[in-house]
Structure 1
């Protein structure tokens, strides 16, 4: 069972989380085989998205994207406040990727890589747009890229430890919380605790993170600290694609372009990048998409005219 475990340090302005994804990770890999280096950075981005989404304060999704100018062109992970997740990666057509390729080699070959976080509310107010922050790719690993983003864009000291292989994804987050006025802990004491917990976390190696469950890790790393542990949450794979959404995408292309594509290909086939679901639209299906819109327009009463 996949699990995300939240915890806080008593009498300290630090919170932490540990996440483990195996079933969700298996679903992401079930319809596509990625080179090992790509697979691992995608898994690390999934762990990071789950760790940050666990603190979402709205009904919606957090979307993380890394846009690349190397053999790896795009990484996308989407996670909502209920920890329903999906993820995908896109390679350049001529991509040649070595097993030990680093993140900069994969996505920042010419210095044009970008990292973006989008907060997309589910129930938008009229005229409301998703919030998006885009920054240059600053860091050699997924964890450092996100740490830099969180410090610059959110003014939050954040440390991440992330690891992935073909079987499991694991990650740990530590975050320094602001000290409120009148709090029992001083700024100096909060900084001392933060530095100590980060130092303890930094003893965590990649192999230990990959092969150790959350409870054992907390005991090993923070055995001298007083920690309050919350009920675990259960991340899971979920893809929101549907035939209706694909149809709406085709309608956005316009009838002329869709009709031309159907005439050329016989039918349109679309596979979801996230879950592999296959959709087909023949000439009748496509005609019905636009007939429905025409009928809806015809059903509207005429606008009153002024004299």
Structure 2
């Protein structure tokens, strides 16, 4: 079974939409993690939303959604690149006890300090170019509301999202009012009417229906009276780009002194990728080679090799 993202547009109206169905990629992500049910629900909704928003970007890079929490969940991260390759992870407080019924506010906004961050990290950055990053308070009681508020404030785009996730699947629908392109006042009024009508139809979609119905049936069920232009489907996949080289780069950033101290204390460094669970092990020789390689790359000799 292949995961699917389906784009569509309302003919003769300034409204576009998307459905996404993540089953295989969601199951692959969960196979590496053991989260409480409430965390799975929210992370799955964030993963579906990430695919929906990424599919509308004309951008060669990766969109990173992060929720920084002040409750039992400290961090949620979902990454989606231009090819709809997804990965996700969450970090919980060490003493976290999470009940199934707990909400987004309970988990990450318990003391009002939660933040929502979207980063656009281009693949082809020029020297000195920084990734674009938008940071806002966690404004909303659901992932859908948080992102809707972000899009309206930061992008000035009317956006509506319907999201749901469980142990088996993460699904979502996005509707977006297209930017005004000029024209008569009557045309603007028509676009507003079309937008309001589309949202009314979307609001008839219930969470259980979204979880149990495939997206082709949902599209017909919701919009059978509308004339839609339907595009070729896209296919999101789970993908983690971790590698031994990238883990080595992370260790170099810690510095030789800190790495040597850790090696002396525990004998070897064992590191698991938070996204895919892949294991990387570095013994004392491996760690020494990291810093020898770095020194040679910088064009100098390690101190132990200098001849007097």
Instruction: Specify the TM-score bucket, using the shorter chain as the normaliser.
Output: over 0.9
User: Residue 227 in 1 paired to residue 228 in 2?
Assistant: yes
CA-to-aligned-CA distance 1:247-295 (integer Å, 9 cap, x gap): 0000011111111110001000110000000000010000001111222
- Does the CA-based 8 Å contact 1:55-1:81 persist in structure 2? no
Match of 2:252 in 1: 251
Tell me the SS of whatever aligns to 2:219: helix
> How far apart are the structure 2 equivalents of 1:69 and 1:106?
8
User: Residue 84 in 1 paired to residue 85 in 2?
Assistant: yes
C-alpha distance 15-185 of structure 1, shift in aligned 2 (>3 A): farther
Tell me the SS of whatever aligns to 2:190: helix
Tell me the SS of whatever aligns to 1:186: helix
Unaligned residue ranges in structure 2 (runs of 5+): 302-308
CA-to-aligned-CA distance 1:14-37 (integer Å, 9 cap, x gap): 000000000100111011111000
Match of 2:168 in 1: 167
C-alpha distance 254-183 of structure 1, shift in aligned 2 (>3 A): farther
Match of 1:303 in 2: none
Normalising by the residue count of structure 2, what TM-score does the alignment of the two structures yield?
0.95
- Does the CA-based 8 Å contact 1:179-1:185 persist in structure 2? no
Tell me the SS of whatever aligns to 1:251: helix
Normalising by the residue count of structure 1, what TM-score does the alignment of the two structures yield?
0.96
Match of 1:28 in 2: 29
Match of 2:189 in 1: 188
- Does the CA-based 8 Å contact 1:116-1:133 persist in structure 2? yes
Q: How many residues of Structure 1 are paired with residues of Structure 2 in the alignment?
A: 300
- Does the CA-based 8 Å contact 1:46-1:77 persist in structure 2? yes
> How far apart are the structure 2 equivalents of 1:184 and 1:47?
36
> How far apart are the structure 2 equivalents of 1:46 and 1:20?
10
CA-to-aligned-CA distance 1:118-141 (integer Å, 9 cap, x gap): 000011011100000000000000
Q: How does 1:1-307 map to 2 (within 5 A)?
A: 1-182=2-183, 186-298=187-299
Superposed displacement of residue 182, structure 1? 4.0
Unaligned residue ranges in structure 1 (runs of 5+): 301-307
> How far apart are the structure 1 equivalents of 2:36 and 2:298?
49
> How far apart are the structure 1 equivalents of 2:147 and 2:254?
35
> How far apart are the structure 2 equivalents of 1:99 and 1:181?
48
> How far apart are the structure 2 equivalents of 1:78 and 1:61?
7
